[in-house]
Amino acid sequence: FDGVIAIDGKTPRGSFDRASGQSPLHMVHAWAVDQRLLLGQIATDAKSNEITAVPKLLAMLSLKGCIVTADAMSKAGPRFRQAQPDGMA
């Protein structure tokens, strides 16, 4: 598989209930841009954020040779920095 893969997080509308104290469901997904195909998604742990979920999602996928994009929150994790060739930020 090759191409551009976009990593992004989403919180589905209506995935929480204030009355019962249910926290919103936050998901991180990998989207193959050119193929318009969802490659995978994972829920973040309760009381966590994308930083902990992105490495788990990347570990599930074979992305060798792909260009992977993500927002600043996703790129803060150590796994994202590890995946970059030397000299890239």
Assign 3-class secondary structure to 13-79: CCCCECCCCECCCCEEEEEECCCCEEEEEEECCCCCCHHHHHHHHHHHCCCCCCEEEECCCHHHCHH
For residue 75 the two structure tokens come to 């790129």
CB atoms < 10 A from the CB of 21, how many?
Answer: 7
Pairwise CA distance, residues 3 & 56, whole Å = 20
Question: What confidence score (pLDDT) does residue 17 get?
Answer: 67
Question: What confidence score (pLDDT) does residue 76 get?
Answer: 56
Q: What is the pTM assigned to this prediction? A: 0.71
User: What pLDDT tens digit does each residue of the chain (89 aa) get?
Assistant: 679 999 998 877 776 666 776 677 788 999 999 999 999 999 888 767 788 888 889 889 988 889 988 876 655 555 555 555 544 44
51 with 76: CB under 8 angstroms?
yes
Region of 80 (left: φ > 0; alpha: ψ -120 to 50; beta: rest) is alpha
